Structure 1
Amino acid sequence: MSKPDPEVPPVPSMRLQRYLAQCGLGSRRECEELIEQGRVEIDGVTVDKLGSNVKPTIQTVTLDGENLKFERKRYYLLNKPPGFLCTAKDPQGRRTIFDLFPPEGPRLFCVGRLDEATTGLLIVTNDGDLSQKLAHPKHRIHRLYKAQVAGHPDREVFNQLKEGHYFTEGKFKVHDIRPIKKQGQSTWVEITMTEGQNREIRRLLARTGHKVMKLERIGFGPIRIGRVPIGQFRELRREELGKLFEILERNKAGGSTSPKKAGSRNADKKNADRKKMGSKAPSSKNVRGKKSATSGKSKSAGKKSTKKKVVGRNARNAKKKPRRGKR
């Protein structure tokens, strides 16, 4: 008598839009649009409504008639060279960062963007969901830059940059900035940002009269550029990925750090006025009877009266009018 076959474990299923995203077709929202457009089929049946599940190991999924391959998630650190764009395709035919990766690989996304002239650390992945989360300012992931700026900015300029300046998009500011060294008529500085608005660092420093001459991103969260040659890439290490996911989890409940809108300038002024009012010395009305912070006793209670107290018969006589002397 043959032994019964061991129980076959159930095949895990997942949401169709999540499966499409893991195949490198875009973010979940973009994949939902593909489904709603009726371009996706499961085992030959068109699926155009959200909420469908798929079992990747036993079902066949197609997009526009082509079979999809379930791609393993990949995460790369790229040292971006100057002159490359952070876009999938450029109408003018300029080079993009994706030209630096093998064409037969999965569809990739970059986490945030660096402008054409900026070099340095860029995370590139086929995980569309993670790409959007890491780039969102609400997660407050620090971006570390090294910049060469014209002139020699002083502490007052650094304080202005931390306080921020208003632009069309809102209020931009640096999280931190410190000098590294002076080089001729320029200065190297290290700048920490918590988001990546369009040419934010260049525009901020130009507002203070210190044009950015060179700009390199050297850190993103816990990850550093290290010795990766310019124009080359490597896969992120497991511990690096773990630290990134820890930051996302820790900051999930945090508030947004998006730039303040220009209309909030009046609110900032009102808050500053309130602080000034709160720092003024208390009026004489409030001083009377106010308790000491150390003894708990009233300040007025500790002072002795300089008037001599009159008691008994002298008190009664004191109320009488004094006798007039003889003429």
Structure 2
Amino acid sequence: MSKPPRRSGPPRRPSKTGGPARPPFGGKPQRPRRATEQDHVPDGPRAAERAGERGTARPVRDRPVRERAPLERSFNERTGKPGERRPRPDNRSESDERPSRRTDRRPPRRTDERPTRRSEGAAAPAAHRPGAPQRIAKLLARAGVGSRRDIERMIAEGRVSVEGTALTSPALNLASLDGVTVDGNPVAAASATRLYRFHKPTGCLTTARDPKGRATIYDLLPKDLPRLVTIGRLDMNTEGLLLLTNDGELKRAMELPANALIRRYRVRVFGSVNARALEALAEGVTIEGVRYGSINADIEHKSGAYAWLVITITEGKNREVRKVLEHLGLKVARLIRVSYGPFELEDLPVRGVEQIPDDAVSRLRSRLPGK
């Protein structure tokens, strides 16, 4: 008896309809697969016709598959599983059924409520009320004795006393300066803030006293002025605008680099001026381990080996302009400060003193943080 010819192609696979399995090439007949629920096909003449074309009908379940309930109706009242939603009443909106994220029992904030500013008649914080206790360093600074750091240094040196007892720590709050003495002299109550412009000449120091006996700016000021402290410093060979005030707090706020008050200078230099090197100062520069921030430098006029530059800084570090220009190979022949913050030197004569109007001081104080 001759063998049937072998057929080529992939092996035969069992039928998915549950009928007799077709043995693969060279294999043994397989057991029919058990029908499952996935074998269900919808009823209808077309379905039966398709099943008849395949030679066998797919098994049909004896009961229809129950449709899945909508999400709103799938909430389990007994378990209350998270992620399922309760049936929504007809009188509730879609946003009402969302669970609240609030963990406290405070009433929700109304959307039309907005934070309002404290009215002028409302009570101010205790630290800013007139007569409220304040740190002694702040009171002495407002009285024009010096800056807070200077006063803390005086206290450490035992120069500040209260009712005859020398202080050893600045951690003391007082409502007034009654009974407070500095170097044995009573301190007057703080007066209204005053600010002055002074055209400093060369050849004098910006200090109250000099151990070597050299001239200071206080030797040039009129004797009828109140006790004043300088805002910033100008070295002996620098001239121009110097601000003085009787308010140590204002002095400190205007000197802070964080407040970035602009200081503008006109500088006469000798040497080869490199425009690109001046432009690079806008990114800052490090000299002998000291980092100087952004500096704006422009060439105002150039004639031969000399040039006039306009330098703008905001930090005001010690001899900053001179050190930066010397780092670029330029020799400073003359240095004039023409402005500090919103105040200009203008045509104020050398050694001239002029009080700045109170409204200009008020506008400045409103711009400074904490003033």
The correspondence of residues 208-247 of structure 1 with structure 2, limited to 5 A, is 208-247=328-367
Query: Secondary structure, in 3 states, of the residue corresponding to 2:368?
Result: helix
Deviations 1:161-217 (A, max 9, x none): 323432124222552121212234311111110111222212211222222211111
**How far apart are the structure 2 equivalents of 1:38 and 1:26?**
13
The correspondence of residues 48-197 of structure 1 with structure 2, limited to 5 A, is 50-55=171-176, 59-63=178-182, 65-72=184-191, 73-103=193-223, 105-151=225-271, 153-197=273-317
Q: Contact (CA 8 Å) 2:269, 2:332: kept in 1 or not?
A: yes
Q: Contact (CA 8 Å) 1:145, 1:192: kept in 2 or not?
A: yes
How many residues in Structure 1 have an aligned counterpart in Structure 2?
238
Unaligned runs of 5+ in 1: 1-9, 253-327
Which of 41, 44, 66 pairs up with 2:162? 41
Unaligned runs of 5+ in 2: 1-128
The correspondence of residues 3-14 of structure 1 with structure 2, limited to 5 A, is 12-14=131-133
Report the residue type matching 2:221 in the other structure: F
Report the residue type matching 2:252 in the other structure: Q
- Offset of residue 145 of structure 1: 0.7
TM-score by length of 2: 0.57
Deviations 1:48-103 (A, max 9, x none): 663332346xx454445533222423211111101111122111111111222244
The more displaced of 171-180 and 122-131 is 171-180
Q: Contact (CA 8 Å) 1:24, 1:106: kept in 2 or not?
A: no
Larger radius of gyration: 2
Match of 2:7 in 1: none
**How far apart are the structure 2 equivalents of 1:87 and 1:26?**
12
- Offset of residue 11 of structure 1: 7.9
- Compute the RMSD of aligned alpha carbons: 2.8
Higher relative CO (Cα under 8 Å, sequence separation at least 6) belongs to 1
Report the residue type matching 1:219 in the other structure: S
- Offset of residue 40 of structure 1: 2.1
**How far apart are the structure 2 equivalents of 1:64 and 1:81?**
31
Match of 2:117 in 1: none
Cα distance 1:198–1:64, how it changes in 2: closer, same or farther (>3 A)? closer
**How far apart are the structure 2 equivalents of 1:112 and 1:154?**
30
Query: Secondary structure, in 3 states, of the residue corresponding to 1:203?
Result: helix
The correspondence of residues 295-310 of structure 1 with structure 2, limited to 5 A, is none
